[in-house]
Structure 1
């Protein structure tokens, strides 16, 4: 059995307070039970970067464990191994003696093994008549048993950190690809936007990354790249929405013209009006009202598509002050803030309700946010909202141009791109 007290190194090797602290901690730990020695070794290999160990040090530790005869580390049977440097060098794949000494010192400094030096610095053991070891001088493996739980937790933490790092790099690779291809498609197809500045921002984000970045640096670049991707998608979405709206307006015009043609020449019965005579005013009113009601119902069934919340808040930053707790994180909070702004600007509940019916509650809230931003230039917020509602029912109003105008007015587009 090895003694449980502090031992000083042999020869010219100095004693340090760190060695004293480590030996006292092991002596006071009183580790119980057993632990499979190769499991502990695998945990040390997993967490070697935390200890600053090289591959050669792991080879030396592997060689030391081979000199312990039992498969499990057990403090009751002694944990001191005493191989010579020549034997250690052979089992450590033939490393030189100078490298062996340096890596043994690294293992001691890491607190994974301890020296139990004899009076003359040699490594040997005293045995009783039954062949059992009574006293041994060499390298004590007790720290591996005492720190087995700590090493297992550390290994799991290192594995989880490695997984987070790998996933962050994968996410950054995908986001880079998305932004690069979206910018290329927008430039080649002539989409509106300052794509030169956006491409410069893309290059700047990647230029900040060092050649061998760590996880923190990769995640920071990923956050910036995701924001840039969101801005690119917002620009493209607004343009597509505007194009679709213009296309639908043209189709509606053609449909109305065709309907009029059919109602005049095909659906009406033969009468004197075919010769150019006009219908009585009562019949004209009766024929116009159902058409207006049908168009209004269709407008309500097809509300304007909501825009991304992040873009709305960048275009209308003042609305954030009226959100719950002075912040807005989702659409429900935006609609709550819009009700507060409606009351503050003197918009009647009926006017706001009509806007919600015509546009949808989300878009009505966006419209209120836009009115708040331009309140200095609007004499009557209620009248302005009613006008937007009427134009929306006729299919003549889109939130896209208004939001783009506000983004340009606040300088958000320039700031995000440059």
Structure 2
């Protein structure tokens, strides 16, 4: 197999040459398809990969074989530009530009045949590639650590920018409120008002604007503190000038009623705590009954795992977070998290969606239909199965949607899937 075949019709660029050098590296980085896929999808916005280019990347990653990502093989995918154009509903020229963008971003490398045709011949016994030409993911495999760092820095930058936006809104309102109350020196108030307007209209990054407003806010506080009694409360009347008739009239009857209500409520609590009809026992009985009874056909499951008809979803009530944790060991290792609580499982759904290629709209639709906990559990099972046997589930996103439909119909045996994964 040729190591760095680039067709003569391609115009080489510095980015393309850099990707070809990465594809020729001898010290192959040991990683997995899932690890690289997650790193690529997280770092894609920072690399400028979006829109159709991201769609093409997602398809190409899905077409690679998991075993081809081993150190003694090459993650090669052979698909024509015409077929890719059909998949993404774009023109062939658009697909060509997207592939070039991925190559220059250091994600892919060209491995062209003499005719430009892409194909792969595999060994019938071992499944290894005997001869193949197409698109090589070796550059992404070599850069997996760098891609993770880029993704982390991008996430940190987004978080800092969001916090800065909140600070800008908070500080600008606080400064304006203090100015509206009035300061002792009118010229000083005008000066701060002009500074605030200049800071808000100045063309700069949100982080810089937040720093400017923070400095202005501290200066205004200092000015008000040094202004003394003639400061911010100058135009407010003194305490003795405010004439307010105190309202001390109380209704003794209301107090008696209140005591009676409190006493009655205490009696109810005492009765429930000592009797057989305590709310906790009733709730436990309902949960046990729901876990043994099938979900009625046609009942829609809401956001909290309770159907709109008021019945508990037995598929979720029969599942514990401990079972989910035992059944999804591979997924937790890939994401670097532990599903020790439902909150953590739901919080990791965004990363899991990136891992399996599920769109945000698909996830939101599932949450609106079956609730966040149920949707997150189904998503975790889907990702775990895809990680264990990538060939068994060609489209994890479609598999997830089908499971949600089965859950709505009451035909999804979620607890059995979890038990099977945990035992295997």
Q: TM-score, normalised by structure 1?
A: 0.50
Q: Which residue pairs with 1:202 in the alignment? A: 196
Aligned in 2, Cα 1:157/1:24: closer, same or farther, shift over 3 Å? same
* CA offsets 1:29-70 (integer angstroms, 9 cap, x no match): 522423233x42332233234323232111101111121132
* CA offsets 1:255-288 (integer angstroms, 9 cap, x no match): xxxxxxxxxxxxxxxxxxxxxxxxxxxxxxxxxx
Q: Which residue pairs with 1:7 in the alignment? A: 5
Would you say the 8 A contact 2:39–2:151 is kept in 1? yes
Q: Which residue pairs with 1:111 in the alignment? A: 106
Would you say the 8 A contact 2:28–2:142 is kept in 1? yes
Correspondence 1:192 to 2:185: yes
* CA offsets 1:168-190 (integer angstroms, 9 cap, x no match): 11111111011011001116xxx
Q: Which residue pairs with 1:135 in the alignment? A: 131
* CA offsets 1:352-376 (integer angstroms, 9 cap, x no match): xxxxxxxxxxxxxxxxxxxxxxxxx
How many residues align structurally?
Answer: 233
Matched ranges for 1:42-81 at <5 A: 42-70=38-66, 73-81=69-77
Structure 2 residue runs without a partner (length 5+): 235-424
SS at structure 2 position matched to 1:34: coil
Structure 1 residue runs without a partner (length 5+): 247-418
Displacement after TM superposition at 1:77 (Å): 3.3
SS at structure 1 position matched to 2:113: coil
* CA offsets 1:221-275 (integer angstroms, 9 cap, x no match): 222222322232223223344689x9xxxxxxxxxxxxxxxxxxxxxxxxxxxxx
User: Quick one: which of 175, 188, 195 aligns to 1:179?
Assistant: 175
Q: Once superposed, what is the RMSD of the aligned Cα atoms? A: 2.9
Correspondence 1:233 to 2:240: no
Once residues 45 and 145 of structure 2 are traced to their aligned partners in structure 1, the CA distance between those partners, rounded to angstroms, is 18
SS at structure 1 position matched to 2:90: coil
Q: Which residue pairs with 2:281 in the alignment? A: none
Would you say the 8 A contact 2:23–2:136 is kept in 1? no
Once residues 36 and 18 of structure 1 are traced to their aligned partners in structure 2, the CA distance between those partners, rounded to angstroms, is 23
Once residues 13 and 243 of structure 1 are traced to their aligned partners in structure 2, the CA distance between those partners, rounded to angstroms, is 72
Which has the larger share of helix?
A: 1
Higher radius of gyration, 1 or 2: 1
Q: Which residue pairs with 1:33 in the alignment? A: 30
Once residues 123 and 201 of structure 2 are traced to their aligned partners in structure 1, the CA distance between those partners, rounded to angstroms, is 69
SS at structure 1 position matched to 2:17: helix
SS at structure 1 position matched to 2:130: strand
SS at structure 2 position matched to 1:28: coil
Q: Which residue pairs with 2:142 in the alignment? A: 146
* CA offsets 1:182-226 (integer angstroms, 9 cap, x no match): 001116xxx3342122211211111113xxx5xxx2232222222
* CA offsets 1:102-156 (integer angstroms, 9 cap, x no match): 1011011111101111111111123445364201011011112111111011100
82-91 or 197-206, which deviates more:
82-91
SS at structure 1 position matched to 2:175: helix
Once residues 170 and 192 of structure 1 are traced to their aligned partners in structure 2, the CA distance between those partners, rounded to angstroms, is 30
Matched ranges for 1:272-311 at <5 A: none
Aligned in 2, Cα 1:134/1:238: closer, same or farther, shift over 3 Å? same
Would you say the 8 A contact 2:68–2:128 is kept in 1? no
Q: Which residue pairs with 1:124 in the alignment? A: 119
User: Quick one: which of 147, 154, 158 aligns to 2:154?
Assistant: 158
